[in-house]
Chains A and B, each alone.
Chain A
């Protein structure tokens, strides 16, 4: 595991705030989200549907769907702000320095072009290469992502590939311009378990070999545990806990993380009942005041409903929970 302090972070997200203006007022979809990723590091972003994890990825790539907009904070890639760039400039950075992998590999590829044509186009848009060199590079990328007989497969169309093979093509496409950052949004969710483990192994390997920073968005704690160095847990548009993956999973500091971990059926121990968090995540227009988790929290006390906690030091991780406030008179 890498110590992120020894490297200057490649990606810095500072107090990011994303809003959706609607007829019935503005919805705050991301509120004060801050984190960074070092080169060669894999940061997992985990949470339930609607927690804002995919939105965080979309904001970084600059692909927020209107009317969603960045309303505050900043995103820095290698020290340069990318959240306020004009479209053309952002587009260059997006292809060259940020690679994106989405959940459904079929919709990420153009069904009318061969995968080779899509790869060559991407390579030539961002790297100074002629057609022949770009094609050689495309074949090398397909080989690297584990596609057998890449020389022949390069001239096939996406529908001629299976789901797992398609996701490999998407990864090759994301790596085409040697990006410094890869944003992978649920890259294995649409795949079967046996294929999923192959894709995870592939992602880990290419990230290490290319020294790319990876932001891995997923709802699967197992994938996080096997892939990531650090993990950020999101709830109702905020990061509630962030820290090294071992600590977050085995010694969570935030009651929500603890509940989430307890609700996952385990492969190693027998439990008659799963731990369950009562209720559901609030809708964006009904986020409670104070800590957004307090109505469901088994350890909430009166301060939780009044004041909103920031990320506080909680041993090896940082958690947005008043239980970790210094000198807090936390009831047991």
Chain B
């Protein structure tokens, strides 16, 4: 198996400085947020990589970088071994855009309320010239709707006539319209109720099996991630702190932050695990701590952690960025 998507040392810096006049008058410096700071991973064809982390850790930025909604400050995204960035900006960017699609979090905001389902799902087909003629378009849209559990009769309806779960199915149908190979899903179920979430997750798994899709799945919900993913990357303040197979990550988390996250989830099974109370909050991304970004909250931090930033290294069969794990202190 070859990697379909390879991301190497991806960096995205946002300039969040005050306006020029304020900077001059109030003598404020320019400010930058390193939303994504040196992230590398690869996803094999037909597999699912999930990125988890708390708000502001940069997981959605990674998603947007991968589909070309943002241009990376540094680093490369390779799709089937070819540089995606140059492809996306070149004249034949259609080719790549057809093969990479995205599903957004909020099905209320991501569908145009003035468009009928036929137009919403049909737009990528028309845009990429994949079907000719109205009858064929309608036929193809009906097929797509059918594949996500909606009916042909829905083509003439507007988004407001659907429930949240149905809208998310429309989003999925639209994403599938161009027969993509790679789907980037940014929190596709977090706006949905649990029973509807189950329907959408089951649908996504079925579609993956049928079409051999590759997913990048962004979520803050660890139980959902455990259900859908093959590999999991844990992000903290713009960096990957641990990247491991699903079973390893959930059975034997290595990084102290991963352990803390797993400890913190309220659990339906009430297995009575001993909890280490979580300390502190995510620091301000404008002024991240020196060294390891997690060290102020880490129970295993020492002087080296505050000084030197750990790199993501292969240890114990997983990849983890932690001095304590590397030195065998943890």
Contact of A225 among B195, B205, B250, B266 (CB under 8 A): B266
Q: Mark A221-232, 1 if CB is under 8 A from B, else 0.
A: 111011100000
CB distance from B208 to the nearest CB of A (A): 12
In the A-B complex, list the 8 residue pairs whose CB atoms are closest, starting with the nearest. Answer: A222-B266, A263-B198, A265-B227, A48-B193, A192-B54, A274-B198, A197-B264, A265-B223
Contact of B226 among A192, A265, A272 (CB under 8 A): A265
Task: List A contacts of B269 (CB < 8 A).
Answer: 225, 266-268
B1 at the interface (CB under 8 A from A): no
A220 at the interface (CB under 8 A from B): yes
Known: A48-B194, A263-B198, A268-B269. A197 touches B275 (CB 8 A): yes
The count of residues in chain A whose C-beta lies closer than 8 Å to any C-beta of chain B is 43
B282 at the interface (CB under 8 A from A): yes
A271 at the interface (CB under 8 A from B): yes
CB distance from B108 to the nearest CB of A (A): 12
Docked CA distance A219–B54 (Å):
19
A300 at the interface (CB under 8 A from B): no
Contact of B265 among A198, A222, A275, A277 (CB under 8 A): A222
Contact assessment for B278 and A264 in the assembled complex, using a CB-CB cutoff below 8 Å: no
Task: List B contacts of A226 (CB < 8 A).
Answer: 266-267, 270
Contact of A193 among B194, B202, B264 (CB under 8 A): B264
A80 at the interface (CB under 8 A from B): no
Contact assessment for A264 and B223 in the assembled complex, using a CB-CB cutoff below 8 Å: yes
Contact assessment for A219 and B261 in the assembled complex, using a CB-CB cutoff below 8 Å: no
Docked CA distance A280–B150 (Å):
13
> Which residues of A line the B interface, CB within 8 A?
48-49, 162, 164-165, 192-198, 200-201, 219-223, 225-227, 246, 249, 259-268, 271-278, 280
Most buried by B among A197, A220, A260: A197
Contact assessment for B220 and A192 in the assembled complex, using a CB-CB cutoff below 8 Å: yes
Task: List A contacts of B263 (CB < 8 A).
Answer: 197
Contact of B195 among A48, A194, A246 (CB under 8 A): A48
The count of residues in chain B whose C-beta lies closer than 8 Å to any C-beta of chain A is 40
Docked CA distance A148–B171 (Å):
45
Known: A197-B278, A265-B224. A219 touches B268 (CB 8 A): no
Task: List A contacts of B194 (CB < 8 A).
Answer: 48, 219, 221, 260, 263-264
Contact assessment for B268 and A221 in the assembled complex, using a CB-CB cutoff below 8 Å: yes
What DSSP secondary structure best describes chain B's contact surface? helix
CB distance from B200 to the nearest CB of A (A): 9
Task: List A contacts of B201 (CB < 8 A).
Answer: 265, 274
Contact of B271 among A259, A268, A274 (CB under 8 A): A268
Name the CB-closest residue of B to A47: B193
CB distance from A4 to the nearest CB of B (A): 20
In B250-303, the 8 Å CB interface with A consists of 250, 260-261, 263-271, 275, 277-278, 281-282
Contact assessment for B266 and A200 in the assembled complex, using a CB-CB cutoff below 8 Å: yes
Task: List A contacts of B260 (CB < 8 A).
Answer: 194
Contact assessment for B278 and A274 in the assembled complex, using a CB-CB cutoff below 8 Å: no
Contact assessment for B195 and A222 in the assembled complex, using a CB-CB cutoff below 8 Å: no
CB distance from B210 to the nearest CB of A (A): 14
Task: List A contacts of B199 (CB < 8 A).
Answer: 276, 278
Task: List B contacts of A196 (CB < 8 A).
Answer: 264, 266
CB distance from B124 to the nearest CB of A (A): 27
Known: A194-B261, A195-B281, A273-B205. A249 touches B193 (CB 8 A): no
Task: List B contacts of A192 (CB < 8 A).
Answer: 54-55, 220, 282
Docked CA distance A265–B219 (Å):
13
Contact assessment for B265 and A267 in the assembled complex, using a CB-CB cutoff below 8 Å: yes
Q: Mark B228-253, 1 if CB is under 8 A from A, else 0.
A: 00000000000000000000001000
B3 at the interface (CB under 8 A from A): no
Can you sample 10 A-B contacts with CB below 8 Å?
A192-B55, A193-B54, A193-B220, A193-B222, A196-B266, A198-B278, A222-B265, A226-B266, A263-B194, A266-B268
Docked CA distance A128–B107 (Å):
51
Docked CA distance A158–B322 (Å):
35
Docked CA distance A224–B197 (Å):
18
CB distance from A228 to the nearest CB of B (A): 11
CB distance from B36 to the nearest CB of A (A): 18
Task: List A contacts of B198 (CB < 8 A).
Answer: 262-265, 274-277
